[in-house]
Structure 1
């Protein structure tokens, strides 16, 4: 009987503690599952918004995964704190580990930050023809650490995002139209008016030349061995390269047929006989 009374007395002391702990554990479990559900919904919402903004799919998936991981880690810390686990030491360990990883991966973190800036600022997008990091090509895809280009000769160039953001970015696809600037030289004994009329005739019969702004042809320089014309033509960005090749070819054939000479570098040597 004495032992039973002793057990009842001890139970009266630890039973409230056990009840309190049970409630804390149940609340912690609820925080875990509800927080996980909320984190998943927020990550999916952000992913959908990014897809609606036509951001590269690889970037969308990677970004949403990182956001979900960060929110899930916060939920775990909240749940552990509710149960009674001291999370201060965990946070200190994570902070020290993050500092060590950050020092070891400075270059990668720089590429990561640059990738985030590319996503937010959007200086170019997949499919644009750009010149970045000393390379020129079509943007194949944008990832958080690297940007992939496909060059005109079908090479794949992988550029670190830090080199992309630290240098000059030239986006040739930013506008639907572009101006083509050409310099065409004729010989000094050629007829300037005839050469101008021939080039006008070529451009007037070319459907790819945009009427507004109108093209311009004017003498820009009396060079050492040629009279140079500046030709400024507005075309669609997608037509520029092919039009440039076709126009120069037509100019050469037309000038040859009409006797307009195109000079090339040459040197006159005068010999004299000494007495």
Structure 2
């Protein structure tokens, strides 16, 4: 008899095998299904992609007043072909609005001509009413009256108004009728002027709408160019439509146009806001540069390894870099494209660099001086036989004040290209003195006098110890060298003090200091007399 537990175990194992096969089949099915979907979703270059572009309809023009930021986000995922359709759609909107503006400008010009014609009819009618009485007895007045009436008819035809033609045709050549015509012409001129002013106000709004479309068109055009499109001709078209045309010959229209632009949200008010933002940005950048300069100065003062010249250069450079970058960035607040400005700066830099090679050489030398620090502000240096104190330095030149208070400005290229002697480059300095005594004087006594003088002087350093030694047996003296060490700033004081004190001590203790002498020997030769 079979064991039930064994049969149950086989049954469970069989079920597990079926489940395992079932799960494997499901996994295989889902894998194949995913591959098929992936293959179907892949676009074949030149076929499906092209069909998608051909079937694509512009979506960004559904709202012609779409926000610029939203429009930019909408353009980002579009392909070049889709952007081509978007450019065409916005071009159509821009062209339609520009056409409406042009038609409105033509209408304003036509109304101005009618107003001028009506005003001239009024003036001529008034003059003709006066001539009418004279024309009865004066042939010249009659001729002039006839010319005026013909001019009135010609002007009435220029107005192209039925009432104007009818009023002239019904003219009965009486002073009353002529005066009545003048009043009607004035009334017509006044009404036309009102309509014209209203039309100019509407024209300002139409220009704003055109400029809005132009701004969005340029954004779409830039996005299209960034993905390979060539928009040279379209940029020329857009530039031709930019700006506002003002007829300066028509003072009323010019003033109304300017006034409307100044009060429009996309005109004067917009530029006023931009200028305010630009001014505030410049003020903020100035404060930021001053603050950054102070922070940089405080940080550099903690580093004693940097020279004063380098610290000053870094501080000024930080301030100027912030000012320049901030100014260029602030130009975007007044809607100036900084890309051409940067390109212009680069081109100008190349031209200036070629023209100012000597100046650039001084600039490079100034940078090397700042990096290698052969001297600092306040140091006494000697360059090409000129000795003085470094007063200040720029990247192009170094200012030196001589001891007689002359102000020298030396190009950095001249300084870097020659030997620089930094007199105060070290903290201590040796004073080299030479004293001579006579051959008959006591050398030990003289040496002791000099050692006593240098040991008593408070400015002479004990370490290194001063040196007093016989150095030379000269023609007329025995020369000693006296070499005490002092702090650099005390060099001249010690030099002068020791020289004076040694001379005074030599005189007190009977040690002579020889000076050059010349002995002249005269030989007398007896005169030989011939006999």
Give 1:146's aligned residue.
Answer: 397
1:113 to 358, 361, 364: 364
**Structure 1 length-normalised TM:** 0.74
RCO higher in 1 or 2 (8 Å CA, sep ≥ 6)? 1
Among 432, 442, 447, the alignment partner of 1:196 is 447
Check the 8 A contact 2:60/2:74 in 1, yes or no: no
Partner of 2:318: 64
Which runs of 5 or more structure 1 residues have no equivalent in the other structure?
Answer: 1-7, 26-32
Of stretches 53-62 and 130-139 in structure 1, the one that deviates more from structure 2 is: 53-62
Structure exhibiting the larger radius of gyration computed from Cα positions = 2
Runs (4 or more) in structure 1 with deviation over 6 Å come to 13-17, 22-25, 41-44
Identify the residue that residue 20 of structure 1 maps to in structure 2: 71
Pair 1:102 & 2:356 matched: no
Alignment counterpart, residue 378 of structure 2, candidates 127, 147, 150: 127
Structure 2 distance, partners of 1:166, 1:75, is 40
Task: Name the counterpart of 1:207.
Answer: 458
Q: What is the TM-score with the length of structure 2 in the denominator?
A: 0.41
Output aligned runs, 1:1-275, within 5 Å: 11-12=61-62, 19-21=70-72, 46=296, 48-50=298-300, 52-53=302-303, 55-56=308-309, 59-68=313-322, 71-72=325-326, 87=339, 93-275=344-526
Aligned residues: 254
- Aligned-partner Cα distance in 1 for 2:330–2:381: 44
The structure that is helix-richer by fraction is 2
Q: Which has the higher strand share?
A: 1
Report the alpha carbon displacement of residue 58 of structure 1 after superposing the two structures with TM: 5.5
* Separation in 2, partners of 1:44, 1:193: 62
CA contact (8 A) 1:190 1:260 kept: yes
2-side partners of 1:256 and 1:10: how far apart?
A: 107
Distance 1:10 1:113 in 2: 54
Q: Match for residue 209 of structure 2? A: none
Distance across 1 between alignment mates of 2:338 and 2:508: 90
Q: Measure, in 2, the Cα distance between the counterparts of 1:55 and 1:14.
A: 61
